[in-house]
Structure 1
């Protein structure tokens, strides 16, 4: 049977597909649930002064887990890293569920971040090594759906569990999902082998990942202290410490949108960060400026998740129909629709419920088009020898960039209000920042296609180098 007529749920792929989907759902549900229960955690553990570190610690640890495990996969394959990542995430969940003080909770979040970053990198690797190119759009579409569904149910379910029993049961409840995922997928992971890379310096990459984590941590601390002078100094120091390891860890030319893989990662990181941050600040705008209840705001945001799920599912069918020829067009169209969706909610004062829903549906269609296929295109440009690194880069774009952009967006809002602007004016400026990121992503998306001989000849005739 050809891969065109196969399904990701056919007998050959069934266990791995279900295992991957459950892994992604567990990580997504845990991450989004903590947003709802974090105030209760901080209150019960007498740690309101450390509230922000519940999230920051997870992000910083995820950077290390994501980047370091990608190099390990390229040397030894994904089976052992995936097993260790599962165990680390499980230990982190148990530690969180039994935490008696805030420091234990923060340490547990660090373990969860390390485990989640490593797990998702291993999952991307498994997708690249296990599925033929024709099925990757379908499994990545299911991957996206599995991550989006918790955004529709996770916060509500977590709040209900915390209200009826305790926030501790949220962490306990994720364990069975992970254990089922392990039973289904571990045997498939043990069969996966990646081609060893030559000349890679794993120790140097680890130190770069640690330096990036330190720089990001300093940046986040500084953002929280803006608009003070000391805050500005700390932000500048953190930014400098971030840029150097970023240039070393990501493919050369990523920050300059160089054609091919660098442009793919730049496009994905920018549009995903803009989308994620817009969701956060739109909820704030709807509740604080428009007077909508949290549950209503949640339903409006869920409309984007719903359209994302539908388009992500259809994406696989379209990719099979045109045999991948329309991938680049769909990415560019997706980013363009994201720009339209963000533009619709840009002018906060005139945003009504109807306008917000329309904007969210369009943004969901955009992310549903661009997100899965950008991963497919990345893997299509990667040989087996570099699949671990590409997997790490994709996961990095999905986690690091949104975390930093949300922090920057928050600081923009604080600075605007410190300057005497109203909340709604500050939110307009913040939305404008997101729109700028989408425009940059759109520019990068036009450079995703790798340099062909025809393009190279044209550049040389103009006296230009390949960039």
Structure 2
């Protein structure tokens, strides 16, 4: 039996194209994180600093959910082209922005485009690759997304310090053009299965916008806690978010119903724990341990390295057992993440050795759980629902981490207001990540039983 490759003649153009697109999104996101303080200072908008990221997240929610529903009716080719154009326009506007308000608008365009692009990429994977190759392409895609975390911050910092932060945005455009050149012919040939009734698609845009508004209010309120206005905004935001989440996600996601719903819920929770850990570990190392930013970045990059290695290895394991061990690998990955975070959760005792060890273990865990969960999701997609499932996967990767980071930040802020040390606040925030993983583990077990 001939071993298939994602770079065989039939798949090569699409594989390279979507990998380049994923690297572009990953690099741009990490690069902006590095240069955001410089941008805010240069444009005299430090008071709007948080909106550099919030605008991206909220627009990404809309882009992911709207495009996810439209793909099943229109196919991914036109929507992928539109997503890249919107993302590119956002980059150009950011590169020439002369005030923070224009920059925030550009970040919203980038977020919408990025969410839509990734949803189209996942749909193409579901439709174009057989089950035996999905583990391989998702492993390569995961590697393509995390590798920029090793070089992105350094390259962005170099461009900003030696020339201008605007080059960070200009420099992404050539890779976008190459990605669309390689992948578009394949996207055009994709045939969509029978679509759902139009009535089931109605209201997606309004629900997505309502969810974005609710999320924005919720995150804004978290930043104001424990003030009364913050509490009011959190409650109002939650009330606005509940109905859209119930309507737009697979039925039973909020209750972790066994099957695809619990799989999406589990993925959102363990990915949120991963993202939160990376954010708060850097804060702990730099602000409580006096470590330089570049050294802290290298420690965090060790998780990206182990993620990349395991993401590729799991494809071999998947081929060896013909997918029978997929759920076991997801559960094992979540357990490894629990161990890794537990090693680092007590911030007063953290040091370089413990941080590197914990990060490597977390990287192995997320490399297993994240990649394999995507493979499992695509294996159970019903006919005509590839776009919806792709949108749900991308939503789990963007919405839950954004909300969780906001909650973790609120925990730290509240402990500071209560007179506790920063180390104590970060320890509690890291403990919150353990809770997310325990719930995620429960959801993954329910998925396996189904």
Return the alpha-carbon distance in structure 2 between the equivalents of residues 114 and 369 of structure 1: 28
Partner of 1:330: 329
Partner of 1:182: 180
Q: CA deviation at 1:236?
A: 0.8
Contact residue 261 and residue 450 of structure 1 kept, 8 A = no
Partner of 1:149: 147
Aligned length in residues? 449
Q: CA deviation at 1:249?
A: 0.8
TM-score by length of 2: 0.98
Partner of 2:53: 55
Return the alpha-carbon distance in structure 2 between the equivalents of residues 40 and 430 of structure 1: 27
- The superposition leaves residues 185-213 of structure 1 with CA deviations (integer Å, 9 ceiling, x where unpaired) of 01110011222322343231211111100
Partner of 2:75: 77
Partner of 2:97: 99
SS at 1:446 equivalent: helix
Contact residue 267 and residue 445 of structure 1 kept, 8 A = yes
* Structure 1 residue runs of 4 or more that deviate by more than 4 Å after TM superposition: none
Q: CA deviation at 1:158?
A: 0.3
Return the alpha-carbon distance in structure 1 between the equivalents of residues 415 and 195 of structure 2: 48
The 5-angstrom pairing of residues 68-467 of structure 1 reads 68-200=66-198, 201-449=200-448, 451=450
SS at 1:312 equivalent: helix
Contact residue 319 and residue 327 of structure 1 kept, 8 A = yes
Contact residue 72 and residue 196 of structure 2 kept, 8 A = no
Q: CA deviation at 1:248?
A: 1.0
- The superposition leaves residues 2-23 of structure 1 with CA deviations (integer Å, 9 ceiling, x where unpaired) of 5xx1110111111100001100
Return the alpha-carbon distance in structure 1 between the equivalents of residues 171 and 238 of structure 2: 38
Return the alpha-carbon distance in structure 1 between the equivalents of residues 54 and 299 of structure 2: 27
Return the alpha-carbon distance in structure 1 between the equivalents of residues 43 and 275 of structure 2: 29
Return the alpha-carbon distance in structure 2 between the equivalents of residues 450 and 213 of structure 1: 33
Return the alpha-carbon distance in structure 2 between the equivalents of residues 357 and 393 of structure 1: 32
RMSD after superposition: 1.0
- 5+ residue gaps in structure 2? none
Contact residue 129 and residue 384 of structure 1 kept, 8 A = no
SS at 1:41 equivalent: helix
- The superposition leaves residues 53-94 of structure 1 with CA deviations (integer Å, 9 ceiling, x where unpaired) of 111000000000000001110111111100000111111111
Return the alpha-carbon distance in structure 1 between the equivalents of residues 356 and 38 of structure 2: 30
Q: CA deviation at 1:449?
A: 3.0
Return the alpha-carbon distance in structure 2 between the equivalents of residues 373 and 192 of structure 1: 24
Q: CA deviation at 1:35?
A: 0.7
Return the alpha-carbon distance in structure 2 between the equivalents of residues 361 and 187 of structure 1: 39
SS at 1:37 equivalent: helix
Contact residue 15 and residue 137 of structure 2 kept, 8 A = yes
Q: Given the alignment of the two structures, is residue 33 of structure 1 paired with residue 27 of structure 2, yes or no?
A: no
Q: CA deviation at 1:224?
A: 1.2
Which shifted more, 186-195 or 16-25?
A: 186-195
SS at 2:384 equivalent: helix
Q: CA deviation at 1:450?
A: 6.3
Return the alpha-carbon distance in structure 1 between the equivalents of residues 430 and 46 of structure 2: 28
- 5+ residue gaps in structure 1? 452-467
Return the alpha-carbon distance in structure 2 between the equivalents of residues 256 and 51 of structure 1: 35
Q: CA deviation at 1:50?
A: 1.1
Contact residue 152 and residue 302 of structure 1 kept, 8 A = yes
Contact residue 61 and residue 212 of structure 2 kept, 8 A = yes
